[in-house]
Structure 1
């Protein structure tokens, strides 16, 4: 079961990376609102399909203990997707993913004030080291630094907030309810805003837009399967593979450059983030055992 879960996680991360590469290609050509709308049309229908086949069904998924919280976290994901498209286009695929790798560190940091969780000195140290790694990646004192690099930082923070509020929603609603609202709210919001940014699309780019939809659906499906078969800590660790994929695609397809600062900072961030994920898993495991 666990081996199958890891294979599903590898598959999901691989397809997620292809999805990011497609976004990197489309980002400079079309509005992120337009791209996100097309993407959510497919993802929204997928969310409806998955929930309709679950035990609770569509009617059960509509019932939520905290409607405002579900809408807020879903809006955060919409914002994160919009910003990520901009980040891939203006910061670059490899550099963006290097900064995004700090998300587990930001989640651990924000979980203290927002979720009331306790973080021990080991994780505090890992967070501090990891955030220093982000500074190494950005290299704010370097000659190649531009303010657009901060788009990736904003995206990382937005995704971390989405993760925090999704965890908070999990205290009240099932995963199916949260998944349903993620698709529903995103579909509604992007369908309201997106038409104002409708653009004439080249025939070849319709192929890429459709591919973006299929990669989004398949990657989420594989991730759901992975989380059902293995522990979240294992899946989270596998997601760091996205950084490797992004570096390969960035260099070979988009002619991006990997600087020493990016590579050194990425190593620091991944090690610190990996330790944070592992340590959080160990702490929660001890708490479950103590509770019997």
Structure 2
């Protein structure tokens, strides 16, 4: 093992936790803005504000070549998937608790494992059991058939499935492209595609919301950058479990700003989903090393 790896792993964990915290703030800002604006308008303004900074960052880090890609079509395809996932998640956090929606969205690793078993490689029985246990956690939170069941609770699950497709589609990207190029194209293609529809949903921006849009552009872009860098400097199985710290942030932010307090079954379901996801992460590491 590289003598510097423990230090790199510590750096990766710090970056991951900071990035996750920023993305949770991003979600909280989106939840507040959803009272007055559509998801498409939020996506358009967030990315159009972030685009110049993403471009300058790509140029600074890798030169003008950072603005070029050999697979522009793949970037557009992935952005369509990402916009669909974002619209569903923003709608879900607008209509339900932030912590509950976040917990349900964490079934994405389970979907990734299930889809991978069909399209990419065989998945062993242990990981399949973990997937099934994880979906049991979803049922605990959603409670289909119960009097408290609400169809909107299926939106974060659909978000997770769409996000899983987004993660798997990363295999189609040019491996030579830097993370700065990927971030630039995410901002660029999101701005372009959302601009095609935003006129239909446009609502005049209130003066008091200008700062919130600037903030959501900053924290969203910064959070994605930090998480991407975390996976670059440290082992993926080491940093990936810290993605679940989002449940702590989502619970705290939901309680502080909206007085949301998840019930006991939501915590139980979240624990089941988290445990299943972490098991899959470490099981995949063990399989890769064998």
Equivalent residue for 1:259? 263
Listed as ranges, the gaps of 5+ residues in structure 1 are 287-292
Equivalent residue for 2:9? 2
Equivalent residue for 1:100? 105
CA distance in 2, matches of 1:4, 1:249: 25
CA distance in 1, matches of 2:73, 2:104: 30
**Alpha-carbon distance, 1:134 to partner:** 0.8
CA distance in 2, matches of 1:209, 1:60: 26
Which of the residues 217, 222, 238 maps onto 2:226? 222
Q: How does 1:144-163 map to 2 (within 5 A)?
A: 144-163=148-167
Alpha carbons of structure 1 residues 109 and 46: separation in structure 2 relative to 1, 3 Å: farther
CA distance in 1, matches of 2:243, 2:157: 18
Equivalent residue for 1:191? 195
- Alignment of 1:165 onto 2:169: yes
Comparing 43-52 with 127-136, which one deviates more in the overlay? 43-52
**Alpha-carbon distance, 1:60 to partner:** 5.8
Q: How does 1:1-292 map to 2 (within 5 A)?
A: 1-55=8-62, 57-59=63-65, 62-64=68-70, 66-114=71-119, 116-169=120-173, 175=179, 177-286=181-290
- With normalisation by structure 1, the TM-score equals 0.89
CA contact (8 A) 1:69 1:169 kept: yes
CA contact (8 A) 2:112 2:168 kept: yes
CA contact (8 A) 1:102 1:131 kept: yes
Equivalent residue for 2:5? none
Alpha carbons of structure 1 residues 145 and 199: separation in structure 2 relative to 1, 3 Å: same
**Alpha-carbon distance, 1:173 to partner:** 5.8
Alpha carbons of structure 1 residues 170 and 139: separation in structure 2 relative to 1, 3 Å: farther
Alpha carbons of structure 1 residues 46 and 17: separation in structure 2 relative to 1, 3 Å: same
CA-to-aligned-CA distance 1:173-228 (integer Å, 9 cap, x gap): 66555444322211211122223322122222222111111111221232233223
Q: CA RMSD in A?
A: 2.0
CA distance in 2, matches of 1:129, 1:172: 37
Across the two proteins, how many residue pairs are aligned to each other?
Answer: 283
CA contact (8 A) 1:44 1:186 kept: no
CA-to-aligned-CA distance 1:58-96 (integer Å, 9 cap, x gap): 4465332x4443321121112111221111101221111
CA-to-aligned-CA distance 1:107-166 (integer Å, 9 cap, x gap): 11111223x222111111100100111111111122111111111111111111111111
Comparing 39-48 with 88-97, which one deviates more in the overlay? 39-48
Listed as ranges, the gaps of 5+ residues in structure 2 are 1-7
Equivalent residue for 1:289? none
- With normalisation by structure 2, the TM-score equals 0.90
